[in-house]
Chains A and B, each alone.
Chain A
Amino acid sequence: MDIAAVLQWIESTSLAARIRDSLLLFPLLESIHVIGLALVFGTIAIIDLRLLGTASTERPFKRMAADIMKWTWGAFALTALTGSLMFTTNATVYYHNFYFRTKMLLLVLAGINMLVFELTLGRVVHRWDTAPSAPKAGKAAAILSIAIWISVIFAGRLIGFTTSRAKQAAPAPPDSSLEELFQSAPSDTPKAPPK
């Protein structure tokens, strides 16, 4: 299947059009996305700091992680949903955007990091559950996790900057004068979300 066609179909759905045409929907989706990602990173950081022995050192790791992670996953679902809805409004541009691709790659890396941790130290958690910090590999996973999630936030913010600017700086059609372009601008220019 042709990816370009799929992306165009996503943009042409009535759902995407509805979000594009609304004054309030896109900013609200962005806001809920920020609330979701803040809860994702905020709660993951609590667990990472526990692994590093920086904070919550008196709490057994397993119980604490189980207690918090369900909120992390709930927030992640909210973030993924709002992110997907934003993606539909301008799928082709996002798909080709460097920071969008970087962010998706970073999300995969965060998942792999978590999976490796679960399959190694997670399997022998009883050995270090009540220790004030995790073994060295756990600390490494925690530092990696914090670094990846902060990078995800930076990449995400840069998507907003580069996609709205990319549209503003879109090249003029080959055979049109500057005046014609200005005259037709209000109706032809797609509504670019502010950065």
Chain B
Amino acid sequence: MKSFAEWLSTTALSVFLQNHNSWAIPTIQSIHIVGIAIVLGSVLMIDLRILGWAGMDQTLRQTANRFGPWLTGALWLMLATGILMVIGEPVRELITFSFWLKMVLVAVSAAVAIILQRAVRNHEEMVAKRRGVKLLAIVTFLVWACIIILGRLIAYDHVWGAWSPSAKQ
């Protein structure tokens, strides 16, 4: 992974981002944060509707249809800006414990979100009645919060001590 990160940092796009890092990196990061806002806002609305704490003038299906596409769209935006951030600072991103744990949680959360969205579309009543779904709503929201924390911890990977790959070098 170290050699891949070092190779990546020699590519033309990476060199460009490194040479323009004073504006390019904060701009990409800010767009990434706008993406976080759309994702977390959408997740909040869907989860609050599942819990019955907001949006009760709408059915669960209406809520999922309203926010699902924004959630998916924002996730693509975050993937694009995330890839650019990795290309711009490969070693800083890839040689961290936080980044890889974050990627695992993103993969799980995105899969759960897609499955839940399909389930709501096809078997709305069954989903709405299951008690486990309410627990799932709370857990998924907390996992998205953990993903945000891990994203910030990429810059502070030393907090993991010996688990951080940079500690071994």
| A and B: interacting chains | yes
Tell me, in angstroms, the Cα distance from A157 to B37 when the chains sit together. 14
- Judged by DSSP, the binding face of A is helix
The number of chain A residues touching the other chain, given as a range, is 35 or more
B36 touches A154 (CB 8 A): no
Query: Number of B interface residues, CB 8 Å?
Result: 35
B152 surroundings in chain A (CB, below 8 A): 27, 30-31, 34
Interchain CA distance A40-B41 in the complex, whole Å: 8
Residues of A within 8 A of B145 (CB): 35
Q: Kindly state the separation between the CA atoms of A143 and B158 in the bound complex, as whole angstroms.
A: 41
- Taking a contact as CB atoms under 8 Å apart, the answer to whether A59 and B58 are in contact is yes
A34's contact among B25, B55, B148, by CB below 8 Å, is which? B148
Decide: A38 and B40 in contact? CB cutoff 8 A. yes
With the chains together, A32 CA to B151 CA distance in Å? Answer: 12
Specify which of B26, B38, B55, B66 is in contact with A45 (CB 8 Å cutoff).
B38
Which residues of B lie under 8 Å from residue A40 when comparing CB positions?
37
* Structural contact, A42 and B48, CB atoms closer than 8 A: no
Name which of A27, A28, A60, A150 has the most chain B CB atoms within 10 A of its CB.
Answer: A27
With A and B bound together, what is the CA distance between A42 and B29 in angstroms? 17
> Scoring A residues 123 to 163 as 1 if CB is less than 8 Å from chain B, else 0, what string do you get?
00000000000000000000000000010011001100100
| B79 contacts partner chain A, Cβ-Cβ < 8 Å | no
Does B41 lie within 8 Å of A23, measured CB to CB?
no
Q: Is the CB of B37 within 8 A of A45?
A: yes
Q: Tell me the complex Cα distance, A35–B58, Å.
A: 26
| Contact sample, A vs B, 24 pairs, CB 8 Å cutoff | A23-B156, A28-B149, A31-B152, A31-B153, A34-B36, A35-B145, A37-B33, A38-B40, A38-B41, A39-B41, A42-B40, A42-B41, A42-B44, A43-B41, A43-B44, A46-B45, A55-B70, A59-B57, A60-B57, A67-B56, A71-B48, A71-B54, A154-B26, A154-B27
